[in-house]
Amino acid sequence: MADWIRNLRDAGDILRRAKNPAELAKALVPNAWLARKVLNLDAPRSEGPIAASDAAEALRKLGNALKVEVIGEDGRVDYEKLQASETFAELERTSQLLHHVDPEQLTTDDARIAFWINVYNVLAIHGVLATGVRESVMEIPSFFGVVAYRVGDFVVTLDEIENGILRRNAPHPATKARLFDDDDPRLALCPDHVDARIHAALVCASTSCPPVAFYEAGRLDDQLDLAADNYVATDVRVDHEARAVRLPITFRYYESDFGRHAGVQLFLLNHATEEQKKSLQAAFDADYPFDYHRYDWSLNS
């Protein structure tokens, strides 16, 4: 399928879900012009500074509680159950702790990557409940550009966590614009490199996302490998009859993170099962093109 046709189709998939014309209009406005919806404003005033490592541990414990209470084995979230649960109250308390954290205390890549993946995944869940989303986050097409947390002195949206921090201010896949100016202090929060495995770990509250999980700095490499292995095993297949490799459109959106086309091939081979690997290598040797799955923006509920 020609890229322009695919892009038009993808835009239609997003825009048709908008809950009203006002939300649709916001999709056409640069994120910097939109009012942010900061979900953790009600931070306790009596709290003193909190070590970033303690905040990371609180996020990990919250993730464990979410997995026990409202996240199924398939990684889907029971949002209705969460809304009325003590776990949601704990989510709100943990998000408020982030006010009192200096994220610049996180000095290793593993600590930074694990922390920001967990913040992203919690914020996405929190955002669904706070905005009243029912069937898709694309009911609010600006969702990723306005739903935000305050973390220490910084306010960060979902887009800014992913594309500004974790992707080291790489161009946004939709707008091709960089989210941070060259003098933005949030650039100091970035890891030293882009780890493409984050795309198997960041969960945007949609069906086409990977299952919800939470990460620890001390185990990050193994956990990201497991996430990437599962992502490839679940969502990548070779169609020898059609002579195509079918894979998530994430690999097209973020192809530069993987090292372009050849890098995507290497990533797939590195994370494929043995059976998949043989089939993929045969497909690559025969120059099969990539065929990307249509993104399903239905809520991961």
Dig out the tokens for 121 from the structure.
């995944």
Above pLDDT 70, what percent of the chain? 87
Q: SS3 of 55, please?
A: helix
User: Who's near 244: CB < 8 A, 6+ residues apart?
Assistant: 238, 288, 289, 290, 291
Mean pLDDT in residue range 98-122: 95
Mean pLDDT in residue range 27-47: 73
Is pLDDT above 90 for 261? yes
Mean pLDDT in residue range 199-228: 94
What is the pLDDT, as a whole number, of residue 255?
96
Dig out the tokens for 270 from the structure.
């590195």
C-alpha torsion sign, points 143, 112, 200, 91: negative
User: Chain-wide mean pLDDT for the chain?
Assistant: 89
Using left for φ > 0, alpha for ψ between -120 and 50, and beta otherwise, residue 292 falls in beta
The DSSP output letter for 154 is E
Which of 24-28, 75-79, 225-229 has the least mean pLDDT? 24-28
Confidence of residue 52 (pLDDT cuts 50, 70, 90): confident
Q: How many CB atoms lie within 10 A of CB 100?
A: 18
Confidence of residue 28 (pLDDT cuts 50, 70, 90): low
Mean pLDDT in residue range 102-121: 95
Q: What is the pLDDT of residues 126-149, one digit of tens each?
A: 999 999 999 998 889 889 999 999
Confidence of residue 8 (pLDDT cuts 50, 70, 90): low
